[in-house]
Each structure stands twice: as C-alpha cells, then as structure tokens.
Amino acid sequence: MARLDLEALHREMTAWRRDLHAHPEFGFEEKRTAAFVAGKLREFGLDVAEGIGGTGVVGTLTRGSGNRAIALRADMDALRIAEQGTQAWRSQTPGTMHACGHDGHTSMLLGAAKLLASEGGFDGTVRFIFQPAEEWGKGALAMLDDGLLERFPFEEIFGLHNMPGLPVGHFETRSGPVMSAEDNFEIVLKGLGGHAARPHAGQETLVAACALVVNLQTIVSRRLSPADIGVVSVTELITDGTRNALPGLARILGDCRSFRPEVSAAIEKEMRRIAEGTAQAYNVAAEVTYTREFVPLINDAPLVDEALAAARTALADDAVGIAAADAVRVAAEPMTASEDFARFLTHVPGCFVFMGNGDTAPLHNPAYDFNDQALLHGARYHAAVVRRRLAVGD
C-alpha cells in the first residue's frame, strides 16, 4: 500500500471543505453534497451506495479477510442562517450556511477514506456513513428506516463533532451520557380578544401566557430531583394582538433537555398540569403539543477507552506536533445540546467525541467557519479508530 503525503492530503481536504462551505444544502436537500461525496469515494476505490434515507451516502471499504465491520459517520447538512463571513469561500446560497461545521466533518471523513484506501493497515470492513438532516433530527432515522443496518451491517459506530473553544488537535469525550435528549413543545392559549381599553369584556391571553412562561420554570426548580439534569426553555411567545387590541390567542414554543426517559416524561406531565391550571386561573383554554425529537446520546464505556486511545495514536505522529497526553482527555460533564448520532447508538454500541476547532465563532453563529487546521487531525483520528478496532492479526 502506498503512503500518502499528509501535507498534500491536508491541502486537498481544505479545498473540499471550502467548496462544500460555499455550496451549503439544508437537510434532505443535500443533492450536490451527496454527489460530491459519492464521486470522491468512487475515485478512492470504494463501493458506493447513494440515496440511503433520501440523500445519504454509504461507502464500503474492505481489506484482508476479517469478518468484522465498523462504521464511521459524518453529517452533511447546513442551517437556515444567513452567513456574515467575508471569506472567499463564504456561502453562495442566500439564507443557508454551514454554521455547525458539517462541511468539515464531511471533508475529514472523506480524507480518512482516502487515507485508508491508499494505506490500508486494517483487517475487515469499514462503512463510511454520510448522513443527511442531522440538524433537525431526522436523517439518522431516515437511513435506519431505509435498511441501513440490514443492507450495510456493522457492529459499532464512531462519530465526532468540532468544538469551538477547544484547541485544535485536542479531543475529549466521556462514558455514558454525553448529549441530551431534545423535546419540543407548543402551548396554545385560546380566549376572546378585544379592545385594549376594555380588558374586562374579553378573555385575553397575553397575561395568562406571561404567567405560564414563569410557571414553567418551576418544573426544573421544584418538580425534578436536584440529582437529575433538566432544562425547560421558552423560546417564542406569539400572539394575534396588536398595539391597541388584546390577543385572543397566544402560542408558547420551546424545548426541553434531559438525559433519562423518566425525566422527559416527568417534564411533559408537569407541563400539561401547569398549563391547564394556569389557563383555568385566567379563564382561557390550553392545548399542549409535546414531541420528542432527539434521544440522549449514550457512549459505550469500553469504546470510549478505544476512541481516546485512537486519538492519542493519531496525535503521536511527529508531523502533528501535539503532546497527546495533554490533548486527549475525559470530559468532566455531559452537555445539554443534542445530536442525531444518538439514534445509531440505540442499535449498536459506539462513541462520539469532540475535537478542537480553536478560537472561532460559536456553533450556529452567522460568523462561524470551520477551522481548516483541524482537518488532518480528524482524518487521522478516524483512520486510527479503524486500525485499532480492526487490527491486523486480531
């Protein structure tokens, strides 16, 4: 097997990443991105399947005679955010941008595919999964519903996400709960609007909505055990009123985060009770819609150890120049953001890690841009995972 020039690979990945950044596509609309990915995988010599779960792509690479298979996953979709960046590769699609680094995730996994196809160093099968629609929590389910596990079986799965604020070349993760579930809710209050000068003549909903927003904050502070992590956030309050007219309808929207199904169920139960009680107190009606969009991301403990060891291996190369002992660590606590990768972990064990993106704008910020200096670290990490989990001679 030929050894790749890592500096040349880094330049190539940078070009891919910037091309993808300039042409962002929203979830299940990633046709150009999927075609780009499929074309590169075929160029590297992989077997490629397209249209999995809509716009998903799966590349398969086998070396040796081993009968084990593992999967590596990257997400491809962008966000409905208008970019504020001025770089030459800024988004060319108005109102859509790669504000979460999925362009970098895709490029790193492509780089790992090229590295492994060229150099080998493993015995078994690797599935390279390029997933659509991560941002709204539907892409992994779509691929699973389309027979991903039956058509492209694998025993374990690994993924990563860039993290602004964590230095480039650094990796961290933890065993057990890593990222939270996300539930969405909408509460509609219905009454009778009227003239702002005559509130007694109607059943206006704005004061009731304001009271309800405050009352919902008692779910976490007074209804959940202090030992449980929970978040209830109201993000929108919309009415049909105007400056001199009291509203007869108010909509309260938001989301909830938790790490255990029992906590999610408790939050929903308390929310319905509080909404109904508050509505009754203000003589209006309440309708609650509560949906579960993301499940908790739970890392497999033995595979966390394997992933951290792979990260140290990836950083040990002299060309990287980072002390692995200082750059790879166990995260102190879980985070209450959510990630679609969790759906795969309900079927097979796996591990999700965070890698440094340096001093960049936050995720989902219109000024965000993936740090190209991180690309080679991610590609080498993916390759190290494969060579460790599908080691020659095992």
Residue 167 domain flag: yes
Question: Does residue 164 sit in the same domain as residue 199?
Answer: no
| Domains: count for the chain | 2
- Which CATH number do you get for residue 230? 3.30.70.360
Question: Does residue 290 sit in the same domain as residue 304?
Answer: no
Question: Does residue 280 sit in the same domain as residue 303?
Answer: no
CA distances (Å), 341 to each of 71, 110, 122, in order?
12, 18, 24
| Domain end (from 294, 309, 336) | 294
| Domain end (from 294, 317, 337) | 294
Kindly report, residue by residue over 205-249, the tens digit of the pLDDT: 999 999 999 999 999 999 999 999 999 999 999 999 999 999 999
Question: Does residue 75 sit in the same domain as residue 174?
Answer: yes
pLDDT classification of 393: cutoffs 50, 70, 90? confident
Residue 146 domain flag: yes
Question: Does residue 370 sit in the same domain as residue 268?
Answer: no
Task: Please tell me the predicted confidence (pLDDT) of residue 318.
Answer: 44
Return the closest-CA partner of residue 313 out of 175, 78, 121: 121
Kindly report, residue by residue over 139-176, the tens digit of the pLDDT: 999 999 999 999 999 999 999 999 999 999 999 999 99
Residue type, 95: G
pLDDT classification of 102: cutoffs 50, 70, 90? very high
Burial class (CB in 10 A: 0-12, 13-18, 19+), 317: middle
Question: Does residue 83 sit in the same domain as residue 206?
Answer: no
d(CA 49, CA 68): 20
Kindly report, residue by residue over 171-218, the tens digit of the pLDDT: 999 999 999 999 999 999 999 999 999 999 999 999 999 999 999 999
Residue 381 domain flag: yes
Kindly report, residue by residue over 35-45, the tens digit of the pLDDT: 999 999 999 99
Q: Are strands 285-294 and 328-330 parallel, antiparallel or unpaired?
A: unpaired
Is 369 in contact with 361 (CB distance < 8 Å)?
A: yes
Q: What is the pTM of this model?
A: 0.93
Return the closest-CA partner of residue 176 out of 327, 309, 331: 331
CA angle 176, 180, 181 (to 5 degrees): 120
Q: Which domain holds residue 232?
A: 181-294
Question: Does residue 231 sit in the same domain as residue 336?
Answer: no
Question: Does residue 323 sit in the same domain as residue 355?
Answer: yes
Question: Does residue 59 sit in the same domain as residue 139?
Answer: yes
Residue 394 domain flag: no
- Which CATH number do you get for residue 150? 3.40.630.10
Question: Does residue 332 sit in the same domain as residue 354?
Answer: yes
Question: Does residue 114 sit in the same domain as residue 204?
Answer: no
Question: Does residue 281 sit in the same domain as residue 311?
Answer: no
